[in-house]
Amino acid sequence: MTATLRPTWTAETIRRDFPILEKRLPNGQPLVYLDNAATSQKPQVVINAVRDCYETYYSNVHRGVHQLGDRVTEELEGSRAKIQKFVGANEPEEIIFTSGTTMSINLVANGWGRRFLSEGDEVLVTEMEHHANLVPWQQIVREKNARLRYIPITAEGRLDKEQLESLIGPRTKMIAVTTMSNVLGTINDIHALSEAASSCGARLLVDAAQSVAHMPTNVLSPRVDFLAFSGHKIYGPSGIGVLYGRRELLEAMDPFLCGGNMISEVHRDESTWGELPAKFEAGTLPIAPAIGLGTAIDYVQQLGWQEIHDVETTLTRRAWDVLTEIPGLHIVGPPADERGSIISFTVDRLHPHDLATLVDQKGVAIRAGHHCTMPLHDVLQMIATARASFAVYNTLEEVDILADAIRHARKVMRLS
Amino acid sequence: MTATLRPTWTAETIRRDFPILEKRLPNGQPLVYLDNAATSQKPQVVINAVRDCYETYYSNVHRGVHQLGDRVTEELEGSRAKIQKFVGANEPEEIIFTSGTTMSINLVANGWGRRFLSEGDEVLVTEMEHHANLVPWQQIVREKNARLRYIPITAEGRLDKEQLESLIGPRTKMIAVTTMSNVLGTINDIHALSEAASSCGARLLVDAAQSVAHMPTNVLSPRVDFLAFSGHKIYGPSGIGVLYGRRELLEAMDPFLCGGNMISEVHRDESTWGELPAKFEAGTLPIAPAIGLGTAIDYVQQLGWQEIHDVETTLTRRAWDVLTEIPGLHIVGPPADERGSIISFTVDRLHPHDLATLVDQKGVAIRAGHHCTMPLHDVLQMIATARASFAVYNTLEEVDILADAIRHARKVMRLS
Amino acid sequence: MSTQLDDLYNDHILDHFECPYHKGAIDHPSCSRTEKNPLCGDVVTLQLQINPEGKVENAYFDGKGCAISQAAASILCEHVEGKSVDELEKFQARDMLDLLKVPLTASRQKCGLLGFRLLKTLIYEQHPEENEHSVSPSDTLNTPVSNTDNE
Amino acid sequence: MSTQLDDLYNDHILDHFECPYHKGAIDHPSCSRTEKNPLCGDVVTLQLQINPEGKVENAYFDGKGCAISQAAASILCEHVEGKSVDELEKFQARDMLDLLKVPLTASRQKCGLLGFRLLKTLIYEQHPEENEHSVSPSDTLNTPVSNTDNE
Ligand SMILES: Cc1ncc(COP(=O)(O)O)c(C=O)c1O
Ligand SMILES: Cc1ncc(COP(=O)(O)O)c(C=O)c1O
């Protein structure tokens, strides 16, 4: 299944898999899509998987007393099994389909937190977390009179390991941390965090939204308790996400959403919960997106992690090199070799929003804003940054177009 | 927009819009899809809308500092505006995108219930509710020491209006009721329930999951406070649902899911919420499904409610006539003329699961089970029923094939 | 994918459904257990009489539900009598499905395996100490599809 | 759909951005208000000096943020001076966008209308009684896109 069908591929060959990359923008420019950390484009195989589901065997799942139902259930459960292997989980029942990373983390904050957090307990997050891995914890610690604590970052944008040591303790019940910062590009040391968690008996949740398309994911080494990601950032359809949870924990937790499918028996005043994974999958699942996610995972595995890494680090290094040559441009976070394919930056006297609009005139899609990391931007003492983020289909030429577009923007803004 | 492009259509012409209906089943039979109450098939225009999104303008919404972002946001907000008009809401901000009916109702049970329910308060549901409109209320009334009460049904499967009178009172804070039973086909009198709710100052939530593809929806006459439905039952993509809520209520409620998009400002220990509808749309939305839902709504409106009603009641009457001729077959719920296009039934000495498997041999997809309405089945004193449910593309011939298949099943089971 | 369902309700199944083997109750069973498939309401009770040598002398079932679940329970009772607990420990879901002699789609396997699940739990409980470090029955009993209900 | 963006940062906008009109503060303004666009961090303060005849004698802004929001605030100040409160009540978002003389995409309109939103609130507050039954400013100020942040 994961046999390398493309032993060698380049951005040029891979681009043909993504129909949108061949289209022209409304302004007639070719698209230079460098907003991959927000969401990635979809290869034809994924688009077709969704279409085929609707055109040939669509019906509701888990009710297969008819042939379509059997087929669609087989496809959905096949996708679950692929995801299980992809994240290295022991059992398919540990894979919960959700609507996205945000929903996955909310599920844990509520289903685990409401049951297992008590007054005075501490939840440890980092200063670089996405709002999705902050706000749900803020809410549940408030409800429980527990406390949210932040692992600070160093000047280079890495987790401060010494501070980590002093933050963990017997009150630490949960460490919730991103595998890769969506702003700094920092790749966090999950091994160290996993050890920290076991040293104090805390649970470890990793938000793998940013890393999942760029490096291997494994929930057993180092061992994590929960792992969340979204399909739309790994070349999959929109509307589907995943929560991995260790069986014992999922079994001990309360359900989050309630309704059909997640129950065993419903009586007038009480209900009993179904088995895993149904217990956490209330209502009709996003069936076609879930099936399409399985195809996306096949696609990524066929590319191969080493190849993906090589292509993306080449892009990131080039971007580092050409961007740092631009006067007044400052990159935040660690050096090119120690980060994912994300580069956030500011340009003196050029507001990120103006910059993004100006490079868009050249067909270059980047992002500007706080990227759902306001506390991080407070630490950086910045209101907003511009961000370019790369995927397997980006080319070195596109990196150069970005740099030229930024130079052009500076000229338009009378900065050179 | 809702101009009747097909002034006259029949199931035969409409079937060509649905690619799956032309496919053969694995066993070589043509598909007779009578499981529409579980989920409906998708017309080509909807499938194409999803595909076009991915192939021509996909990117993340509400961040349109680039052209793709502007386009996709325009499409998504265009879909929201269509839904607003479709349900007759005052403002697009009152339309919240969710992952489905189940999620929509959970949002209200938590976001409204946790804030506005107190000890001793009562939530009124009906005996015919789907688990999606029961279990979330069971959970929140337990948490709040409030009480869940049931409006009983009559022998014919209608709401017992006299009992309703005696159930409402100053403690009634919420009436949550389905517009159409997914088992009995009963169409509830939302006018009467709306009056009952205002007479006691309660909120009214309607679960429109079953009715939304079959009859007009309007949240202002009679006035309802919340309305929930799923895209997948109205010829739309899977993975998208809607919650309508009146602005004052949505503004007064707590958010449910937390994360990106739904915030205004995130500080280390607290956050402030964004404006409607963002406040309830945490994380990346199911973008392509949401856009596809807009197309599905256009499609239904082009068919025309009167035409849909005529076609579906003809099917339902025919089904009633041919099914009641089958020895030992008993239909639950009101007469053919007073129900939606849903017929649930039992056949003496033929377990619904065996029946469903046997008619499947003839290519007929029906459902068997408790249809996520265990309390209703308790009232009916049945463990399971078989259910056939019709949509605009079903034909009278298909109804006859169903009847023949049931006769065949009886023969196989040595019942005739 | 495609399964020829026409053979599903053949004489073998229907005969067992209509005239089940050992349907009823044992007065003093060695062990007894009831399980329910909430999805379709199938209920099966299985009772075993095991002699001191560890042999199943008598197997009775009771219950109600679809033809598949009831016929399968009947076929199961017929099969286990005379077998030793050790033998039955090796009896797998696949073997049970083979005994039915008909092709079951994933969605109907839960019906066909309801009695089998009971058997495995009862057998497992015969040697709880021995089995302590081995897999629990719930691990081995997972049918391919988690056949929960939804619409 | 397509908007020619090349004209966006033209001399009109950039001149106002670089040499804004009435950037600063009034000592004793008749009214003053600050607003922020949390998405991009744009902040604008608007201060008006309104004479007894209901005419805006002085309009000053202060703030920081993108060129569009700051230039638009400057253009706004220039425009409103000499206008009566009654005239400004009729001043619409569309008029503001016309004043900018450049095409703004939906996503950038929030920047271009930040100062305008302040103006509308300040003007609205001049006649709270009269306006009681009319629409509140928040109703009329909705920009086409709810420009919240996400990724
Ligand atoms: C009446 C009713 N309510 C709620 C639901 C739940 O909808 P969903 O599963 O799409 O969340 C359904 C269908 O499953 C239904 O028929
Ligand atoms: C690190 C990180 N966590 C969580 C999320 C939230 O993902 P989603 O919006 O798909 O729920 C994102 C992206 O938006 C992210 O970058």
pLDDT-derived band at D141, boundaries 50, 70, 90: very low
> Is residue D49 over pLDDT 90?
yes
Using an 8 Å Cβ cutoff, are B127 and B379 in contact?
A: yes
User: What value does the mean pLDDT take over residues A300-315?
Assistant: 96
Looking at A301, A328, A347, the residue that finishes a domain is: A301
- Which of B234, B267, B301 finishes a domain? B301
Residues of chain D found within 8 Å of residue A372, distances taken between Cβ atoms: 149-151
pLDDT in tens, B154-167: 999 999 999 999 99
Bridge-partner residues for A367, per DSSP? A387
Query: Which helix H or strand E contains D61, and what residues bound it?
Result: strand D56-64
Tell how far the Cα of A394 is from the centroid of ligand 2, in angstroms: 21
- pTM value is 0.95
Strand ranges inside A65-159, DSSP E: 95-98, 122-126, 147-151
Say yes or no: B39 contacts chain C, CB-CB below 8 A. yes
ipTM attached to this prediction: 0.93
Point out the residue among C1, C107, C148 whose CB comes nearest to the CB of A274.
C148
Domain count along chain B: 2
Whole-number pLDDT of residue B107 = 98
Residue whose Cα lies nearest atom 7 of ligand 1: it is B101
In this structure, what CATH number is given to the domain that contains residue B103?
3.40.640.10
Taken in order of first residue, the domains within chain C and their CATH numbers are: 3-128 (3.90.1010.10)
Ligand whose nearest atom lies closest to the CA of A186: 2
Ligand 2 atom closest to B283 (CA):
9
Residues A225-255: pLDDT tens digits?
A: 999 999 999 999 999 999 999 999 999 999 9
Shortest Cα distance, chain D CAs vs residue A208, angstroms: 15
Which atom of ligand 2 is nearest to A372's Cα? 14
What is the spatial distance between Cα B321 and Cα B343, in angstroms, rounded to a whole number?
Answer: 11
Q: Which atom of ligand 1 approaches the CA of B102 most closely?
A: 11
The pLDDT of residue B3 is above 80: no
- The chain C residues in contact with chain B (CB within 8 A) are 1-6, 8-9, 14, 18, 39-42, 65-68, 105, 108, 111, 149-151
Residues A132 and A148 in one domain: yes
- Does A4 map to a domain? no
The first and second tokens of residue A208, run together, are 């793998």
pLDDT band at B412 (very low <50, low <70, confident <90, very high): very high
Task: Give the minimum alpha-carbon distance from A321 to chain C in angstroms, rounded to a whole number.
Answer: 52
CB contact under 8 A, A361 and D5: yes
Look at residue B398 and give its three-state secondary structure. helix
B313 at C interface, C-beta within 8 A: no
User: What are the pLDDT digits (tens) for B85-111?
Assistant: 999 999 999 999 999 999 999 999 999
Question: Is any ligand 2 atom within 6 A of the Cβ of residue A104?
Answer: no
Interfacial B residues in 158-217 facing C (CB < 8 Å): 182
Q: From the CB of A210, is ligand 2 less than 6 Å away?
A: yes
**Average pLDDT over all residues of chain B:** 96
Q: Given phi > 0 = left and psi -120 to 50 = alpha, else beta, which region is A58?
A: beta
- pLDDT score of A2: 42
Question: Which residues on chain D are in Cβ contact (under 8 Å) with A412?
Answer: 9
Same domain, A240 and A358: no
pLDDT, average across residues B335-340? 96
B112 in the same domain as B198: yes
B250 and B358 belong to one structural domain: no
- Whether the Cβ atoms of residue C49 and residue C32 lie closer than 8 Å to each other: no
Is A82 touching ligand 2 by the criterion CB < 6 Å?
no
> Which of A27, A351, A367 comes nearest D66 by C-beta?
A351
What's residue D147's pLDDT? 36
Task: Tell me which of B108, B125, B179, B182 to substitute to probe ligand 1's pocket, judged by most ligand atoms within 8 Å of the beta carbon.
Answer: B182
Please indicate whether chains A and C are in contact, defined as at least 3 beta carbon pairs under 8 Å: yes
Q: Which of B14-18, B245-249, D3-7 has the lowest mean pLDDT?
A: D3-7
A134 close to ligand 2 (CB < 6 Angstrom)? no
* pLDDT tens-digit readout, B193-252: 999 999 999 999 999 999 999 999 999 999 999 999 999 999 999 999 999 999 999 999
**Residue A106 and residue A69 in one domain:** yes
Q: Can you read off the two tokens belonging to residue C47?
A: 């009772």
The share of chain D scoring above pLDDT 90, in percent, equals: 67
Q: Quick check: bond before B222 cis, omega within 30? A: yes
Residue from A73, A248, A271 whose CB has the most chain C CBs within 10 Å, to mutate: A73
B34 and B56 part of one domain: no
Whether the link from the prior residue into B277 is cis, omega within 30° of 0, is yes
* DSSP H helical ranges for chain D: 11-18, 67-80, 85-89, 93-100, 106-112, 114-126, 137-140
Per-residue model confidence (pLDDT) at position C7: 79
Separation of CA A119 and ligand 1 centre (Å)? 37
Q: Which of residues 81-100 of A touch C (CB under 8 A)?
A: 93
Q: Domain range holding B390? A: 11-42+305-412
Q: Residue A334 falls within a domain, yes or no?
A: yes
C-alpha A167, offset from chain centre: 26
Task: Give the mean pLDDT of C69-77.
Answer: 97
As a whole number of angstroms, the distance between CA A18 and CA A45 comes to 9
Q: Does B71 touch chain D (CB under 8 A)?
A: yes
Any idea what the CATH number is for the domain that residue A364 is in?
A: 3.90.1150.10
CA A89–ligand 2 middle distance (angstroms): 21
CA of A102 to the centre of ligand 2 (A): 6
CA distance D8 to B65: 13
In a domain, A3, yes or no: no
Q: Name the pLDDT band for D151 (thresholds 50, 70, 90).
A: very low
> Which active-site residues of B does the annotation give?
372
Q: Are B276 and B371 part of one and the same domain?
A: no
Asked if B369 lies within 8 A of C40 by C-beta distance, the reply is yes
Q: Where is average pLDDT lowest: B29-38, B372-381, C78-87, D4-13? A: D4-13
Calculated CA dihedral for residues C108, C112, C117, C118, nearest 10 degrees: 130
Query: For residue B6, is it within any domain?
Result: no
Verify that B310 and B407 share a domain, yes or no.
yes
Distance CA D113, CA A79 (A): 47
Whole-number Å distance, alpha carbon B98 to ligand 1 midpoint, is 13
- Nearest chain D alpha carbon to B260: D150
Report the chain C residue with the minimal C-alpha distance to residue A280: C148
Task: Provide the residue count of chain D.
Answer: 151
User: By CA distance, what is B365's nearest residue in A?
Assistant: A66
Last residue of a domain, one of A266, A301, A336: A301
SS3 of residue A242 by DSSP: strand
Do B294 and B79 form a contact (C-beta atoms < 8 A)?
yes
Q: Report if residue B365 sits inside a domain.
A: yes
**Averaged pLDDT, B330-343:** 97
Do A144 and A278 lie in one domain? The reply is: yes
Interchain pair D149, B277: CB under 8 A: no
**B26 neighbourhood in chain C, CB within 8 Å:** 1-3
Q: Return the partners of chain D (3 or more C-beta pairs < 8 Å).
A: A, B
Residue C135 pLDDT grade (very low, low, confident, very high; cuts 50, 70, 90): very low
Report the distance separating Cα A31 and Cα A395, nearest Å.
12
The alpha carbon of B114 and the centre of ligand 2 are apart by a number of angstroms equal to 26
Mean residue pLDDT of chain A comes to 96
A211 domain-assigned: yes
Q: Could you tell me the pLDDT band of residue D143, with boundaries at 50, 70 and 90?
A: very low
| Burial of B355 (C-beta count, 10 Å sphere; 0-12/13-18/19+) | buried
Does C have 3 or more CB contacts under 8 Å with D? no
What Rg value do the Cα atoms of chain B yield, rounded? 22
| Contacts of D94 by beta carbon, 8 Å cutoff, 6+ apart | none
Please compute the mean of the pLDDT values over residues A386-415 and round it to a whole number.
97
Q: Which residues on C lie below 8 Å from A283 (Cβ)?
A: 150
CB-nearest to D150 from B62, B74, B93 is B62
Q: What is the pLDDT of residues C74-119, one digit of tens each?
A: 999 999 999 999 999 999 999 999 999 998 988 889 899 999 999 9
pLDDT above 90 as % of chain B: 95
Residue B55 is assigned to a structural domain of this protein: yes
Ligand 1 centroid to residue D87 C-alpha, Å? 53
Distance from CA of B128 to the nearest CA of C (A): 15
> Pick from B64, B77, B265: which is nearest to D38 by CB?
B265
The reported pLDDT for the residue numbered A11 is 82
Cβ of residue A101 lying under 6 Å from some atom of ligand 2: yes
pLDDT at B63: 67
- The answer to whether the Cβ–Cβ distance between A65 and C38 falls below 8 Å is no
Residue D137 has a pLDDT of 44
E strand spans, chain C: 31-37, 42-50, 56-64
In a domain, B2, yes or no: no
pLDDT digits (tens, 9 = 90+) for D77-111: 999 999 999 999 999 999 999 999 998 988 889 89
Output the pLDDT for position A26: 87
pLDDT the model gives residue C73: 97
- C-alpha A69/C-alpha A64 separation (Å) is 4
**Span from the CA of A67 to the centroid of ligand 2 (angstroms):** 37
> Which of helix, strand or coil describes residue A365?
strand
Residue closest by Cα to atom 13 of ligand 1: C151
- The answer, yes or no, to whether residue B256 has pLDDT greater than 70, is yes
> Using a 6 Å cutoff on CB, does residue B101 contact ligand 1?
yes
B80 and B134 fall within a common domain: yes
Ligand at shortest distance from the CA of B99: 1
Same domain, B196 and B78: yes
pLDDT tens, A83-129?
999 999 999 999 999 999 999 999 999 999 999 999 999 999 999 99
**Subunits touching B (CB < 8 Å, at least 3 pairs)?**
A, C, D
Nearest to B278 among D105, D144, D146 (CB): D146
Cα distance between residue C130 and residue B328, in whole Å:
52
With CA atoms as reference, report the closest residue to B261 among B246, B281, B241.
Answer: B281
Beta bridge partners of B125: B150
A243 close contact with D: CB closer than 8 A: no
Task: Tell whether B171 and B97 lie within a shared domain.
Answer: yes
